[in-house]
Chain A
Amino acid sequence: MASIEFLILFLVGAGIIAYLLTKLNTIVGSIFTIFTVMFVFVSLAQYGFGMDIITTVKILPGISFSQSYLGFYFAILIVFIYLMVSFFHPYFIDKYKYKDSYNLLFLLSLAGILGAFYTNNFLNLFFFFEIIIWTTMFLIPQGKSKEAAVSYFGFSLAGSVSLLLGVFVIFNSTGTFNINDSLALLSGNSAVLVFALFLIAAFAKLGAFPLHIWLPITHGNAPDPFSPVLSGALVKLGGFIAVLALIKITPATVMFRAMDIPIGHYLVAILGGLTIVFGTLMAIKEDDAKKLLAYSSMSHGGYILVAFSILNSMAFAGGFYHILAHALASAGAFMAIAAVSRVTGTTKIKELGGMIHKMPITYLAYLIAIISMAGIPPMGGFISKWLIFQAVIDKGMVFVGVAVFFGSVGSFLYVFRPLAALFLGQEFTEYKHVKEAPILMLIPTFVLMGLNIYTGVFPAAFLKVINNIIVELGYTGITYTTYVISGNNGVLNPALISLVFVVGILIAFIIFILLKKSRKVELMDTYTAGNFIHDEHLFHYSTDFYAPLERLYEKQSHWMTTFYRALAEKVKELGKLGKYLFMSKSLSVTLLWIISIIIFLLWGEVL
């Protein structure tokens, strides 16, 4: 049987071996990394579902583990994303400056993730969180921008600092660091304080408004195979903290009688709604495919927050399912973009076009992933959004309802833009030579495609695991059968919907076969304005799709970036003020301080 301690130590040891192997040969090191992650995934999958993992600790000092469905759910999902991404390493690692350490840091961060979801002690949780942060922080600058690492680290550290402060408030009022015990004992004002602090941590990690600006910077500039990890896996740590804060703490604040949820939770739901709206609007504007997906991750983080702030099992099921569906979809989409970027060297939408001719499988993977992201059947994203919509409508949350529907409609607008411009559209001359991704990279692509569809057609297998978590959290599980999910406002039959889709596609296919074949022509075999075309100019423009819409909020879109830049500037100025006040070259200033302190002290006591 697998012991969690063994798995962590195994990852650390394998990380060191991977470092040495990568130093010798990057391909060998990367393949070793794939097998390492695969081993961990298989062990987890084998024993984790039945809660059969050994959690006793023999070697690691001061660390204790326990298993829960909640932790396992996150752990297995993230390990899976790591596994998928590791298939990309052999083809990317050579591009990076410090390639030797890439696999090492990758595996170390995975060790941190296992620890974080299996520990039952807050200090250990913080320990593992910090490991994840600093190992990944050194991976990010290997991509395009060095500043991205600072931004990522700053916001993540702000989150961890807030988490740690919350942990100490808990310790101060309950006297224990045990996660379940202390959260159960927590009450009164300290519960409210911890609730707020944990939520800051969750918002920072999840990249939710107003702590979101690091998401596009980091996702957009991280190494291509690392962006799917960030978006599909690491951001979900915020979801975990949100679950702790929103479901496990639930401070006794004033209730909103009309909606029957506490006011604190309602505020979180509103912020989640804002996150959805802002993420969507920014994604619509974005020209870089990776940044676009980053904003889409932000808006999906909003859905997760909304789901967990509505305190009923339908919403929880939606939230957990959304974590799964979005992880699979965003990993799929980011990996497709990474595959394109590998051969073209750019992720800018306007510099790309017609990739479908060369990379049809990658195109298909991207298509399926974005269908899931947009919440269209028959993909996983539809199921989770349906569950969340049910819960939101049930509670009568008008503003949040508008936001979640807006996000859904908005995502049609943005996810299809890279599809139209990058994969479809006119083929660029400079990319005529490119080829489809190699077979090793297609393996995870196919797996993710399959899962994106499977989660949308047969959700029952996943809902079973999710129901375990919901029961563990003290709520009753949702009602579902193999084919039907029942909500308060109706039932959903995903398999039937999918069948309709399949039939539709079949009919279309038959028509396609029966009708006359279209003739394939060269790009130049056309005319415009009564003239033949003599050179391959770009005649197909797919930038500025939504210019009229963008113009509506053109000025406002920089507010948050400006705000944080100004904040950094103000902190700098405060430092300069400090230097001016305390580091002056004049001795008399120091004397003034000394004398003032002494006079202040003696005033009223001795004088």
Chain B
Amino acid sequence: MNVVFLIAIPLLAAFISILIKKYASYLLVAVGLFNIAVLIFSKNGIVFIGGFDTTISANLLGITLLLDTYTRIALWVVNVLILVIAVLNIKTYRDYGSILLLAMAGLNGLLLTNDLFNLFVFLEISGIAAYLLSTSNKKPVSTFRYLLYGAIGSSLFLFGVVILYSMYGTLNMVVMIREISASNNYTEVILPFILMFIGLGVEAKLLPFNAWVKGVLGNSNVLSGPMIAGVYMAAMSFVLGRLVTNLFVFEGTLLTVVTLILVLGIVVGDLMAFSSSKVREILLFSSIAQSSIIILLFVNGLTIWAVYLIVANALSKTVMFLVINKATAETENDEVDSLKGLFVHNNIVGLTFTLAALSVMGLPLLVGFVIKLNYLTALAGAGQITLIAVILLASLIEGIYLVRLLVKLWYKGEKDLRVEYHFSFKMVFIAIALSLLVFGNYSTPLNELDNSIDTVSEVVNNG
């Protein structure tokens, strides 16, 4: 099946759902299932749209979509997670069906497209969906600030694309990569690259461009929390990762600056989480640090481990945000101390949350450990001992605040806290925790894929 459906059908459904508002959420589930079917039956390759020349080197105008294993993993994560989140919220957030459909279309497009201007368009579409999702937090000022940050980000990205277009006369990523390596003029592309990097960095939650996160995720609920911390973060990391791996040439000062930004993100992210006493803030600052690690891996060419880290992180963060946001919705207070003893009556939920947290910390028997050890080994092989030291130092801080959180959630405070988790929530938690546990113990399948899942460079070389 043609992967265009992944974008077109959700978009169409989004418009239809406005007409049949009552059934929007059911339509959403149907489209989600359809997308998964498309993913199963579609084949890897390049899709040419609009009847333009099908030899990619001559294709300066037409939009192409590229589906390879890298994109496929990303699409699986995004579509499945949206579907799960949609099903979980089918009763509580009925009105957000159309918005989730829009998000689906935008994110799928973002991941598939091979055209830089088109990327900007999807960035805006998915951005709009994200702003609308954040309105469910009922914090209009935060949403407005998110909108402003998003606007700055996408404008910077667009600015960068415009400069590249004026230099090379194409928007097709493959052609552009070829042109850039042919011209081999490093200094000229610094400006567009850093602009695009910052532009996507706003969405991928990289410090210091991410001040919106605190307002949005710090007040998130069971819908917006997992969507923005899980789905959006995964998708944006995949997109930025693809550009970092293939398009951007990070050398010299640019490499230093980017590395510094990312290292700063890792350390400061964990420091901020350490100093927070609110559960949602702890989680969101921790995911800032995680996303910086992910991009750092992409910068160092460790594509496959970055991809696994994105997936593991999206899954763990989904569980953690769902558990916490459900509880804070009932206690109406997200100070850690007011959630003391949350797991006393919810042992299963507590166990899954603990496993997710242990995976984020990178402790053994969970997939986070396998991933961490592998990327650290790869970094050591590349002689990046300083980076390893920074990551390990940050993981020390991370370990301490997460354990502190876990201990408080497991042991009762002054009052008895009872939060009911619906059966469907528990099923999702268990499924995710089991997958973290299974791949943590049986990691052979993870080794089957390697950095070649990203085929852009192959396309560049072979046409």
User: Which one of B211, B269, B272 contacts A590 once the chains associate, using CB atoms below 8 Å?
Assistant: B211
Q: Bin the interface of chain A by size.
A: 35 or more
A165 touches B377 (CB 8 A): no
A574 touches B271 (CB 8 A): yes
The answer to whether residues A168 and B385 also contact, given A591-B152, A597-B194 and a CB cut-off of 8 A, is: yes
User: Which one of A154, A583, A598 contacts B195 once the chains associate, using CB atoms below 8 Å?
Assistant: A598
> Which residues from B are CB-within-8-Å of A576?
272, 275
> Which residues from B are CB-within-8-Å of A130?
363-364, 369
Indicate whether B411 reaches chain A with its CB closer than 8 angstroms.
yes
> Which residues from A are CB-within-8-Å of B275?
571-576, 578-579
Least distance between B261 CB and chain A CB atoms (Å): 7
In B133-165, the 8 Å CB interface with A consists of 145, 148-149, 152, 156
The 0/1 profile, CB within 8 Å of A marked 1, for residues 182-215 of chain B is: 0000011011001100100000000111110111
User: Which one of A575, A602, A606 contacts B271 once the chains associate, using CB atoms below 8 Å?
Assistant: A575
Q: Which residue of A lies closest to B261 (CB)?
A: A597
The answer to whether residues A171 and B377 also contact, given A153-B399, A571-B271 and a CB cut-off of 8 A, is: yes
A61 touches B442 (CB 8 A): yes
In B227-265, the 8 Å CB interface with A consists of 252-254, 257, 261
Q: Which residue of A lies closest to B405 (CB)?
A: A150
> Which residues from A are CB-within-8-Å of B365?
131
Given the complex of chains A and B, what is the CA–CA distance between A127 and B374 in angstroms?
A: 12
Q: Which of the segments B46-54, B115-123, B326-334, B386-394 contacts the partner chain? A: B386-394
B274 touches A605 (CB 8 A): no
A150 touches B403 (CB 8 A): yes
Indicate whether A137 reaches chain B with its CB closer than 8 angstroms.
yes
A578 touches B268 (CB 8 A): yes
Indicate whether A582 reaches chain B with its CB closer than 8 angstroms.
yes
Indicate whether B33 reaches chain A with its CB closer than 8 angstroms.
no
Least distance between B335 CB and chain A CB atoms (Å): 15
Indicate whether B16 reaches chain A with its CB closer than 8 angstroms.
no
> Which residues from B are CB-within-8-Å of A606?
187-188, 190-191
In B440-456, the 8 Å CB interface with A consists of 442-444
Q: Which residue of A lies closest to B399 (CB)?
A: A157
> Which residues from A are CB-within-8-Å of B274?
571-572, 575
Indicate whether B94 reaches chain A with its CB closer than 8 angstroms.
no
The 0/1 profile, CB within 8 Å of A marked 1, for residues 403-447 of chain B is: 110011011000000000000000000000000000000111000
The answer to whether residues A150 and B209 also contact, given A61-B443, A131-B365, A134-B358 and a CB cut-off of 8 A, is: no
In B369-400, the 8 Å CB interface with A consists of 369, 373, 376-377, 379-381, 383, 385, 388-389, 392-393, 395-397, 399-400
B145 touches A587 (CB 8 A): yes
User: Which one of A146, A574, A582 contacts B207 once the chains associate, using CB atoms below 8 Å?
Assistant: A582
Indicate whether A318 reaches chain B with its CB closer than 8 angstroms.
no
Indicate whether B273 reaches chain A with its CB closer than 8 angstroms.
yes
The 0/1 profile, CB within 8 Å of B marked 1, for residues 96-127 of chain A is: 01100000000000000000000000010011
Q: Which residue of B lies closest to A193 (CB)?
A: B385
A168 touches B376 (CB 8 A): yes
Least distance between B410 CB and chain A CB atoms (Å): 7
Given the complex of chains A and B, what is the CA–CA distance between A139 and B57 in angstroms?
A: 63
Indicate whether A490 reaches chain B with its CB closer than 8 angstroms.
no
Indicate whether B276 reaches chain A with its CB closer than 8 angstroms.
yes
Given the complex of chains A and B, what is the CA–CA distance between A597 and B262 in angstroms?
A: 13
> Which residues from A are CB-within-8-Å of B252?
605
Least distance between A448 CB and chain B CB atoms (Å): 32
A602 touches B190 (CB 8 A): yes
> Which residues from B are CB-within-8-Å of A131?
363-365
> Which residues from A are CB-within-8-Å of B385?
165, 168-169, 172
B211 touches A161 (CB 8 A): no
The answer to whether residues A601 and B257 also contact, given A168-B388, A590-B149 and a CB cut-off of 8 A, is: yes
> Which residues from B are CB-within-8-Å of A134?
358, 363-364
Given the complex of chains A and B, what is the CA–CA distance between A96 and B192 in angstroms?
A: 61
User: Which one of B215, B268, B376 contacts A582 once the chains associate, using CB atoms below 8 Å?
Assistant: B268
A602 touches B191 (CB 8 A): yes
Given the complex of chains A and B, what is the CA–CA distance between A146 and B269 in angstroms?
A: 25
Q: Which residue of B lies closest to A62 (CB)?
A: B443
Sorted nearest first, the 5 A-B pairs with minimum C-beta distance are A575-B275, A575-B271, A168-B380, A578-B268, A572-B275
Binding site for A on B (CB under 8 A): 145, 148-149, 152, 156, 187-188, 190-191, 194-195, 198, 207-211, 213-215, 252-254, 257, 261, 268-269, 271-276, 358, 363-365, 369, 373, 376-377, 379-381, 383, 385, 388-389, 392-393, 395-397, 399-400, 403-404, 407-408, 410-411, 442-444
